Amino acid sequence: MEAPFSGVVLVTRGDETLLAEAAGYAHRAHRIENTVDTRFAIASGTKGFTALVVIGLIAEGRLELSTRARDFLGQDLPLIDDRVTVEHLLTHTSGIGDYCDDDNPPAHPPWLVTSADYLAALGGFPQRFPPGERFHYNNGAFVVLGLIAERIAGIPFADLVRTRVTEPAGMTDTEFLRSDALPARTATGYLEDGRTNVFGLPVVGHGDGGIYSTAPDFRKFWAALFDGRIVPRRWVERLQRGERYGLGFWLPRPGVVRLAGGDHGVSFRSTHEPSSGVTATLISNDHRGGGPLLRRLDEFLTKA
């Protein structure tokens, strides 16, 4: 039997709400129910924010897609090929060894808190294939992007996301939180056996994942992105080039963009069709969340 859904589904067209539903518990022991504005971890949905931070720095002329990662890494992470560029990292074609790879469990070490922690975790993984050879989804690549952005801007990565993405978009409920000290109105993630996911996530996320957000905030996000309030419009167009993946964003079919994430006790997907203004977001504190609901959300987009 399929597990009951725990999370939020929100579908909007511009200012019109087509569907808004919440189900399950944000905290099972205390019987706190999920609401439409509950905050959830979004796992790799964070990668889109990382891409926008980096694209914003490119738009300012502070680096280029062709900039080599080595130019900012210096002597750090010597196993990364010197030919790896920012574009390789953004498009999952860098070939670098990944500290959090489905082929090499376990996933994220739970002790990750600071940028120095992530830098230490990234070391020791040899290059898997030459840069640009093929697409291979890579979590570590987006941590490297976050570290590069920090070194360019001189401020912590979480502050870069706040000032360059969430504040311009008006996403007041979106921020990096400690997974072991979640505040009110934030869902705890659960595993299949009923345990929480606190030991399966980093304490604080970075460039590859770990931010917390709400379904209504993603309604704001897509509008702000395509209005050019986060990065210039020419870069919004550029990040959508690719067969199935652009610069930090999934491209499930022409004219549609998506951010998605899945982790221990986390399931997230937000899809936007600019031509119709339809946004469909599913966000759950159970990694099994979705199933038939995801197919229903796709129907909203195909019928828009």
Neighbours of 40 (CB within 10 A): 28
Q: Average pLDDT for residues 290-301, to the nearest whole number?
A: 69
pLDDT score, position 1: 40
Closest-CA residue to 94 (of 79, 112, 106, 109): 79
Residue with structure tokens 């509008």? 223
The one-letter amino acid code at 184 reads: A
pLDDT score, position 301: 67
pLDDT score, position 101: 77
Is residue 50 within 8 A of residue 208, CB to CB? The reply is yes
**Of 28-37, 42-51, 282-291, where does mean pLDDT reach its minimum?**
282-291
pLDDT one-digit tens code per residue, 219-268: 999 999 999 999 999 999 999 999 999 999 999 999 999 999 999 999 99
Neighbours of 114 (CB within 10 A): 12
| Percentage above 70 pLDDT, the chain | 92
